Amino acid sequence: MLTLIRWDRCDYKETLVLRNQVLKVSAGQPLLRESPAEEKQAIHLVARQNKRIVGTLLLHPCSSKCMQIKQVAIHPDYQGQGLGKKLLVYAEQIARNLNYSTLFLTGRKQAWGFYRRLGYSETEAYQADALILKVFKKDLSVDRYFFNRKEMKTNGR
């Protein structure tokens, strides 16, 4: 089940534990010990299985038309089951409903193909410590998933 959670609830603390496990430890970064203040402005999405949070991401407004997807983390036991895709599609729906036209995110090398398959375009690459990262962008106003391949091939006939 996909849901929104509040920054000031116990569920949010559970997302910090997951993010530490999936993102911080593998990157050799300091663990999150408390809620980052800047995340108060973000929209927090989670995926639950058996009442347990097994996936999370943040939607952070950057401007009146652009949001950043941050801290995408799926528990290792649940990776490869489509939860990441469901979370991203849900985030895109929320952004569209709030009249945002562009999403961007920074992805690790192991996730580049995943973001490409979901229609994100690469804009730049850079290195941060031991990680090679790429920035991906998606224009929500022209979403390729709304087009039927048959219609495109036959010009709508």
Write the pLDDT tens digit of every residue in 2-46. 988 887 777 888 888 888 888 866 766 666 667 777 778 899 999
Give, as one character, the DSSP assignment of residue 141. T
Tokens of 100: 């945002």
Mean pLDDT of 45-54: 93
Q: Tell me the domains of the chain and their CATH numbers.
A: 2-101 (3.40.630.30)
pLDDT at 150 over 70: no
- 129 touches 118 (CB < 8 A): no
Give exposure, 17-49, as e/b (b: 16+ Cβ within 10 Å).
ebbbebbbeeeeeeebeeeeeebeebbbbbbbe
Torsion sign, CA atoms 142, 124, 23, 62: negative
Pick from 48, 50, 29: nearest CA to 128: 29
Task: Report the SS3 class of residue 59.
Answer: strand
Q: What whole-number distance in Å separates Cα of residue 49 and Cα of residue 57?
A: 16
Quick: pLDDT tens for 70-116.
999 999 999 999 999 999 999 999 999 999 999 999 998 989 999 99
pLDDT confidence tier of residue 53, bands split at 50, 70 and 90: very high
Could you give the C-alpha distances from 5 to 35, 67, 91, 93, in angstroms and in order?
14, 18, 13, 16
